[in-house]
Every structure is written in structure tokens, then in C-alpha cells.
Copies of this chain bind each other. A is one copy, B any other.
């Protein structure tokens, strides 16, 4: 089984393994979600199987202490680390640890690099609601960007509960500064999925404010652009999304945990509220069932209104970020194929 969302919000394997250490165990997602839909015949067989399986059973969990957060994050990370080991072997991706701008990073590279991609580097921020996916467990998305033919650098940025805002975005800035000091920004793209997509946009808001050089292109995959529960699809896609399921559980709790009292509408937390003039060309991805559909299209509108070249691809029947969790699905190959073409069009050779 290739599916894993452990690095975001745990999965059924935790329950199957008898994991009961948290304050609120939710049972099956269907207990909280009366809405059910037929399996879409328009999805790939792999995605159909994913949709037929139970939704994320842990979305309602509410860890009551830092210890409980650490416990759920560690359990989830164990599963993702297995994926990282398996996928990097399968796709021939080398992983090397290092430090950049004082931040621990991982350098990823595919076995062969096309001449066009020799000078290009993709800075990837992992997802995980500012709490999940520490260390190597945060490399799933990065491996799939590398599989698409690119060198990737992935920071192990600091996260809540130990390091609330602005720790993550401070680390993002430090890594960018170091990267942009050794490579021309026109060869550099910044990207990420979910929280990583939000950080991609938030970082550019900060770089603009500080008049620092901007990357040549961005990819924000189903970005967490609004940490407040604002945006229609937080309601209309509740329960249709099998990965996130809904906001009013661990997702909202993680937002509160990372913001730690700071205004969540600050563009460094919820980048949709920033000004987008001067942004680099941006590619956006989301799914029709995605809880973050509104998070994504609201960013598209801001970019269009600011005159920024933006393209949006919406994937039929896909829940939040399942292109990461289902690397062998047709949908995953579509998403990373679109991204590779976009980077190739917009980054200098």
C-alpha cells in the first residue's frame, strides 16, 4: 500500500496499531461525517481505492499537551520515514544532509539530471500544519519533485509546539538567503504542498517586504493560505475530503498552536491576505474534493488581480494533497508532470 498521510494528520494505521495515547480519539471519520458519495469512476484505480477506504480517522483529535503533540507527530513520522526510504530507493533519489543558512537541510537529486536542469535548484517546504513531518519524514513531496527531474533542497524548519511563529518562516528566509547567495534566483524555484505551499507564498511576502531577490517561479500545491476558518470549501468539501476531512479538529488546533496568539490574518501566517504584486510566475494545484479548494482559488484571484502570471490545475476527485500520498497514481504523475513543465518554462537554463 502506497498511501500515507501520516505526516499530516495520522492515519488508520495508528488506530490499527493500538495507538490510544491521545486525549480525543475519534473512531472512524464516518462517525463525524454523514455525507457519503459514490466512488468516482473518473478517478484512477489507485485513487478510487483510496476513496473507498475509510477517511482519516484522526482529524478530530485534540492533543492536550506538548507531550501529546510530540507523541502523535513521532508516530506519524515513523510511517513517513518508511515511505521516504522506500520511495528514494525506488525512484533513485539520493539524499544528503547538510546545513544552509544555519538550518538543517536535506539535498535531494535524481540519478540523472538533464542539461536544462543542471543549474536549477528547487527549494521545497514540507507540509504538516506546522507540527508534523520533522527530519527525514518531511521528504515525501521533495522526493516526488526530484523524481520529476530536479535537484531539491528541503529545510528541516522549526515547528510548533516547541517553536511557534515566526520560527518556521524565519528558517525559510535564512535558507533562501543562503541559497540565493550561491545561485542566481532565476535558476531557483520555491515550492511546497499544504503548509509548504502556504510557506512558499508567505516567504515571498517577506522577501518583498525586505526587498530581497525573488525566485524565478513558485509552485503552491493546495496551499494553506488561510489559517482561520475562512473560505467556502472549509464547509462545502468537509467530509468529501478524505485526507483532511474538516477544519474543526487537529487542523484548527495546529493553526492555534503555531500562531501562538499572533494575528492569524498576518500574511506571514495566512498569505492570502497579502499583496501579490510583483510575485514570480506561480503554478497552483488542488483537487475538486480538497478542503483547501477555496484556499487555492482565492490565491489565484489575488495573483490574477495583481497581474502575476498564474496557472491553476484542478485534479478530478482528489482530496487534499493526495498526490503526495499516492505517488504511483495517475493523478500524482499529472501533478508533478505539470509542475515540471511549469518550472521548465519559467526558470532560466
Contacts and interface: CB of A to CB of B under 8 A. Distances in A.
Interface of A: 35, 37-38, 40-43, 230-233, 235-237, 240, 288-289, 293-294, 296-298, 300-301, 304, 311-317, 334, 338
- How many copies of this chain does one complex carry? 2
A293 B304 CA distance: 20
B297 A232 contact: no
A237 B236 contact: yes
> Closest 6 interchain pairs by CB?
A40-B232, A232-B317, A297-B314, A37-B235, A236-B240, A312-B312
Contacts of A304: 313, 334, 338
Given A42-B231, A316-B298, A35 B37 contact: no
Contacts of A42: 230-232, 294, 298
25 contacts: A37-B232, A40-B232, A40-B235, A41-B230, A42-B230, A42-B231, A42-B298, A231-B316, A232-B289, A232-B316, A236-B237, A236-B240, A236-B288, A236-B289, A288-B297, A294-B316, A294-B317, A296-B314, A298-B316, A301-B315, A301-B316, A301-B334, A311-B311, A312-B313, A312-B314
A122 B289 CA distance: 34
A232 B338 contact: no
Contacts of A231: 40, 42, 316
A228 to B, nearest CB: 10
B315 A38 contact: no
A300 B313 contact: yes
A301 to B, nearest CB: 7
Nearest to A39: B232
Contacts of A314: 293, 296-297, 300, 312, 314
Nearest to A331: B301
Contacts of A38: 235
A300 B318 CA distance: 15
A316 B231 CA distance: 8
B37 A236 contact: yes
Contacts of A40: 231-232, 235, 294
Nearest to A286: B314
Given A40-B231, A288-B297, 12 more contacts: A37-B235, A37-B236, A40-B235, A41-B230, A42-B230, A42-B231, A42-B298, A236-B288, A293-B314, A294-B316, A301-B315, A312-B313
Contacts of A232: 37, 40, 42-43, 288-289, 316-317
A76 B40 CA distance: 33
A237 B296 CA distance: 17
Contacts of A313: 300, 304, 312
Nearest to A34: B34
Contacts of A301: 315-316, 334
Contacts of A235: 37-38, 40
A243 to B, nearest CB: 14
A296 B288 CA distance: 10
A314 to B, nearest CB: 4
A328 B301 CA distance: 18
Nearest to A241: B236
A76 to B, nearest CB: 27
A297 B316 contact: yes
